[in-house]
């Protein structure tokens, strides 16, 4: 029996790749809406599988699909999908955890190194109407990699890739991840701590690689950030709500933090009232100039990664719809 899969966004110019992956067993329907609420009942009536990238899927949305059996999030994070609603309707939720791994890890290290080597500081200083002196600067932001501890929150695929890169740049790498099996850290040659407090207290440069869950929301709080040694740098390519951005702004302004690099914000795209950190960045406030980098949730992107999303998402949906067995399933306990 042919299954129907609905793509709610028109992400690609044609359906050549989808037809090759799905074959005759799956019929693909394309729509292009900004919110699933905009779908007509006729669009949803025969849908067995739903593909989403940017869209949230709420309990109200699930009710629109009487035959739905699987949702594939075309990315790693699944925090925009109402998992309780999916479970109650017996809808399988899958993600695509193996695209963009190297890109996000590269981006995290690029943010850290651009800050720690003073590149952003010199960038801003040398393009002022009255350029700064043609010389190095002395600032807590600049620090030799080999005397720093690079702290990683989350030692999954991306966190591990970031750890290996940080090691290559001569950082001492320490990780915190209570869900990784014992010995995971030994496989990549990093140290491990059993509490977030212990990580923060010894971390000079922090890189966040945890998923957004009930447990991790707000985990990098003001109290946690204040545990870092003065002159620290915080980098996040994970999810915005994990870290207190108002605390980041305050601690950067006060000099407790020397630099911040973010690819994610609590609300994306940002809407008014925007966080103080973003406002100051756009206004080029002196306290953040050269010390703050914000990129628009773009860490994952290369043309190659964009193609991986397409292929791997279709393969994941086909495995769920046709077999031989589902893959990348997000089980109910993985909140």
Catalytic residue list: 239, 268, 297
Helices (H), the chain: 16-22, 41-44, 59-62, 83-88, 101-116, 119-126, 157-168, 184-188, 196-202, 222-226, 245-254, 276-283, 303-321
Cα 30 to chain centroid distance, Å, stands at: 26
Beta bridge partners, 191, equal: 174
Q: Is the separation of the CB atoms in 200 and 151 below 8 Å?
A: yes
Supply φ then ψ for residue 31, to 5 degrees: -135, 170
C-alpha 95/C-alpha 203 separation (Å) is 31
Half-sphere exposure of 103 (CA within 13 A, CB side): 18
Provide CB contacts within 8 A for 191, sequence distance 6+: 172, 173, 174, 175, 185
Q: Please count the other Cβ atoms lying within 10 Å of the Cβ belonging to residue 218.
A: 14
Q: Nearest Cα to 319, choosing from 79, 55, 70?
A: 70
C-alpha 58/C-alpha 244 separation (Å) is 25
Q: Is the separation of the CB atoms in 208 and 237 below 8 Å?
A: yes
Q: Which helix (H) or strand (E) holds 92?
A: strand 92-94
Beta bridge partners, 236, equal: 208, 262
C-alpha 204/C-alpha 233 separation (Å) is 6
Q: Is the separation of the CB atoms in 290 and 121 below 8 Å?
A: yes
Quote the Cα angle for 97-103-105, to 5°. Answer: 85
């Amino acid at each position: 029996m042919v299954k129907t899969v609905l793509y709610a966004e028109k992400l690609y110019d044609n359906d050549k790749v989808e037809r090759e992956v799905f074959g005759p067993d799956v019929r693909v329907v394309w729509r292009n809406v900004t919110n699933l609420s905009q779908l007509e009942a006729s669009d949803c009536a025969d849908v067995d599988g739903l593909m989403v990238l940017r869209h949230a899927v709420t309990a109200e949305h699930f009710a629109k699909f009487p035959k739905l059996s699987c949702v594939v999030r075309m990315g790693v994070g699944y925090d925009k999908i109402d998992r309780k609603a999916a479970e109650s309707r017996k809808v399988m939720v899958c993600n695509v955890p193996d695209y963009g791994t190297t890109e996000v890890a590269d981006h995290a290290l690029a943010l850290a190194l651009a800050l720690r080597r003073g590149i952003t500081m010199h960038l801003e200083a040398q393009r002022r109407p009255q350029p700064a002196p043609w010389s190095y600067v002395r600032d807590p932001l600049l620090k030799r990699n080999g005397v720093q501890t690079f702290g990683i929150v989350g030692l999954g695929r991306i966190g591990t890739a970031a750890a290996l890169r940080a090691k290559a740049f001569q950082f001492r790498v320490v990780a915190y991840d209570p869900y990784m099996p014992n010995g995971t850290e030994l496989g990549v040659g990093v140290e491990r701590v059993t509490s977030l407090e212990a990580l923060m207290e010894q971390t000079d440069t922090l890189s966040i690689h945890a998923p957004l869950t009930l447990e991790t929301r707000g985990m990098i709080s003001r109290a946690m950030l204040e545990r870092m040694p003065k002159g620290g740098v915080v980098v996040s390519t994970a999810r915005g709500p994990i870290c207190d951005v108002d605390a980041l702004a305050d601690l950067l302004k006060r000099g407790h933090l020397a630099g911040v690099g973010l690819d994610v914000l609590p609300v994306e795209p940002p809407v008014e009232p925007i966080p103080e950190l973003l406002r100051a960045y756009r206004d080029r406030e002196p306290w953040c100039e050269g010390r703050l980098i914000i990129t628009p949730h773009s860490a994952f992107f290369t043309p190659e990664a964009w193609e991986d999303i397409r292929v791997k998402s279709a393969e994941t949906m086909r495995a769920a719809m046709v077999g031989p067995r589902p893959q990348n399933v997000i089980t109910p306990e993985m909140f």
